[in-house]
Amino acid sequence: MENPMPIENYRIQQPEEWARSVDDLQLTERIKESDFSNSQINEGRDYCYFLDKIYHTSNTENKEYVCMAYTLNEPSNLERASVTDVVVEENEIYNIHRISVLRDGVLIDKIPDTKIKVLDNENQSSGGILSSTKKINITIKDLRLYDILILEDTRVKTFTDRDFLRKEFSKYVWVSPDNYWAYGNFRFTFINERNETIAYKKTFFRDEKGNVMEPEISYLKKGERFIIDEENYINPVDANREIFPFIDFATESNWKDLSNYIAPIYEEIFNKASLKEFAPNLVEKLDAITDQDEKLQFAIEYVQNNIYYIFNADEMNGHKPQEPAITYENKQGDCKAKSVLLKVILDYIGVDSSIVLVNFHTDFYIKYYLPSLLSFNHVIVKINYKGETYFIDATIRDEFGLIENRGFIYFMHYLEVKRDQELQERKAYKFPYYCIDEKVEFNAQDTKGTLKLVTTYKGNRANAMRRYFKNTHKREIVDSWNNFLFYSLNYSNDRNGTDVRNIFKDATIDIVSDDKKLNEFKIQYQATVENPYYVDAKNNRFLMYFDRNVVKASARDFMHKDLPFWHNFDSEKYEINLYTDQKIDTEEKYTAQESTIKNPYFEFTSRKKITKNGATVFIEYQPLVNMEIPQAEFEDFRTAHHTVADSNFGLGIDIIEPGLMNRLKFSFKKRFNN
């Protein structure tokens, strides 16, 4: 075996006594063919003869042991097994106990054929992300198709003083195994060697009929074990429509006690802070701003844009917040440091605020988890201002606007860092403005059309568009709009394959205005269009503009038994004007069709104004967001979106061709349709 670096993040050694180790004879006896294994292999799937996993937790370290044996019958699995990466945290050691193959009934030790490299985990160390993780690259030579690979290892994470939360609290989420694999034997064991009782909660387990059962909560005292042991096991979960059953293990506690544990840690930091002492230049700038709204905007943007965000994943749940004086002096810090500095500044200018703990990635699951501070991985600031509540992420850059105009953060659950707190849920939100406000004018004269779009973006949309125009070449932006319009004007159905630059001549796009207080970003697109009409297979001509962004495909296509639909669409307003020098069918069904939709989750209106040479549609969409649609009400919600998609997301006008025969044809069509 080749070891080019000193052994510091991994070792090769025997398992500890708490792990169920097996000798070579016991190992080969567990790898037996059966009717169950043969049926899986005959279906062309790889097969796991056994998987033993043990999680061992104490007040000084966490350990996770795995022993497994599985087939390498599929080339893709053989390729993955030949070269693997194991990422270990700071002070975590990867102990290798066994790497073997069973080949033609003979057990072969593959550790001598294994090459191990320890690398910095560079793909995580950029853009303000500091990672002290290491990547252990393991290459096993001469693995062959139809080998049975046996792996046995343990990961050991030893706590340092910086890991004070992990010393005090345990959290581990066991998720039922991948349903691709069939397991001859599947065994999971949780061992509690902590002084504190650990609770565990079984969630999204199902009965024989497939219905989700009520969660079960039980407890493990020191020295006790929880065991799952299954024979001939295939996880029955429908991965596309069901949540995998999981068990949350956490030190027994409640939200009130947890908030009383964390609040004094932050209070100690705040008590050391005096903005006048450590940031006199900043205080001078704040004092010079007389308008309180502008002062608040300056405070938020100062921390977001002038303090460099450094994210250290290993330390996020592991150390106390950095003192704001250090953050200000070094001009850098993680989410805790930046949020604490922002709160100190807000305290100085007299704006009520607090620190809150969140986890955007697992927000849906927090209500199912047991109370634990380790459920959170991010810190933001809650601001109460002029009777409204706002949430500010101090780590975001290039955001603008007075506080009511700033971007909206989507999440539901949070724990406020104050004493005697419970887990809180945010209220649903309705935008006080239109995130997109667009006016389209398309005029067709003879064989040319002039097209103009004026669009105003607000909130998150303004921030995103501002960044997009800043970081993207103008030609690429124009091409993007051209491609969008190629479909909106239905040209994809009568001139597919045509270079859009040959359709949209002299296309330009420009920034009209950028208001950093209102957080409004306004742009204008203009182009001359060759052959502006869409022509169908019967040579009928139409002017059409249908904005598919108005149709919420994710709502129409959503299919999940366990996850409620997360409603997070933007408010939108459109005015679409289509005009021509030809006569149009003013009574055509879809040209004249209007709609009104009003339900608890969104309001949608489509209103028309029709003349003999054109038409205008006014579309408004106002959703109630940052909420889950209850499953009992989802089908009505879906149906309402189908109504939007039924030609209510734009406008089309039919041209009445000149000439007696065409007028007679039109008259006949009208009588026939009636």
* C-alpha span between 461 and 300 (Å, rounded): 19
Radius of gyration of the chain measured on its C-alpha atoms? 31
Name 247's bridge partners: 174, 202
pLDDT at res. 120: 76
Backbone φ, ψ for residue 297 (5° rounding): -60, -45
* C-alpha span between 99 and 149 (Å, rounded): 8
Q: Is 91 left (phi over 0), alpha (psi -120 to 50) or beta?
A: left
450 contacts 443 by C-beta, under 8 angstroms? yes
- Which two three-digit tokens encode residue 44? 């062309």
The alpha carbon dihedral of 15, 20, 21, 27 has a sign of: negative
For residue 162, give the 3-state DSSP assignment.
helix
151 contacts 71 by C-beta, under 8 angstroms? no
Task: Tell me the DSSP string of 297-366.
Answer: HHHHHHHHHHSEE-EEGGGTTTSPPPPHHHHHHHTEE-HHHHHHHHHHHHHHHT-EEEEEEE-STTGGGG
For residue 388, give the 3-state DSSP assignment.
strand
Backbone φ, ψ for residue 503 (5° rounding): -95, -50
* C-alpha span between 611 and 579 (Å, rounded): 9
Write out 401-466 in H/E/C secondary structure. Answer: CCHHHCCCCCCCEEEECCCCCCCEECCCEECCCCCEEEEEEEEEECCEEEEEEEEEEECHHHHHHH
Residue 419 C-alpha from the chain's centroid: 30
Q: Show Cβ contacts of residue 434 under 8 Å, excluding neighbours closer than 6 positions.
A: 456, 458, 571, 572, 573
pLDDT at res. 5: 42
pLDDT at res. 20: 76
Q: Strand 225-233 to strand 182-192: parallel, antiparallel, or no bridges (unpaired)? A: antiparallel
pLDDT at res. 217: 98
Q: Where are the alpha helices (DSSP H) in 18-112?
A: 24-30, 35-42, 75-82
Q: Where in the chain is the domain with CATH 2.60.40?
A: 24-74+87-108+146-252
589 contacts 651 by C-beta, under 8 angstroms? no
* C-alpha span between 509 and 488 (Å, rounded): 17
For residue 563, give the 3-state DSSP assignment.
coil
201 contacts 217 by C-beta, under 8 angstroms? yes
Name the strand (E) or helix (H) holding 592.
Answer: helix 589-592
pLDDT at res. 310: 83
- Of 412, 392, 424, 435, the C-alpha closest to 629 is 412
- Other beta carbons within 10 angstroms of residue 258's beta carbon come to 22
Q: Strand 352-358 to strand 311-312: parallel, antiparallel, or no bridges (unpaired)? A: unpaired
The alpha carbon dihedral of 504, 507, 510, 512 has a sign of: negative
- Which class is domain 256-426? alpha beta
534 contacts 543 by C-beta, under 8 angstroms? yes
* C-alpha span between 136 and 84 (Å, rounded): 8
- Which two three-digit tokens encode residue 123? 């793909």
* C-alpha span between 144 and 166 (Å, rounded): 42
- Which two three-digit tokens encode residue 292? 């309180």
* C-alpha span between 666 and 655 (Å, rounded): 10
pLDDT at res. 663: 59
Q: What share of the chain is helix, strand, coil (3-state, %, to 5)?
A: 30, 40, 35
pLDDT at res. 670: 54
pLDDT at res. 6: 43
Question: In Å, what is the CA distance from 537 to each residue of 200, 226, 526, 540?
Answer: 65, 68, 29, 7
252 contacts 199 by C-beta, under 8 angstroms? yes
Task: Tell me the DSSP string of 494-534.
Answer: TSTTS-HHHHEEEEEEEEEEEETTTTEEEEEEEEEEES-SE
List per-block mean pLDDT (blocks of 10 residues) for the chain, which spans 674 residues. 58 90 87 92 90 97 96 93 91 95 95 92 47 85 96 94 90 94 96 98 94 96 97 93 97 98 95 92 97 98 93 57 94 93 97 96 96 94 97 94 96 98 97 97 95 98 97 97 97 93 96 97 97 94 96 96 96 98 92 96 98 96 97 96 96 86 57 50
5 contacts 117 by C-beta, under 8 angstroms? yes
- Of 224, 164, 163, 162, the C-alpha closest to 195 is 224
Q: Is 456 exposed, middle or buried (0-12, 13-18, 19+ CB in 10 A)?
A: buried
- Which class is domain 24-74+87-108+146-252? mainly beta
Name the strand (E) or helix (H) holding 278.
Answer: helix 275-278
* C-alpha span between 419 and 426 (Å, rounded): 19
pLDDT at res. 8: 76
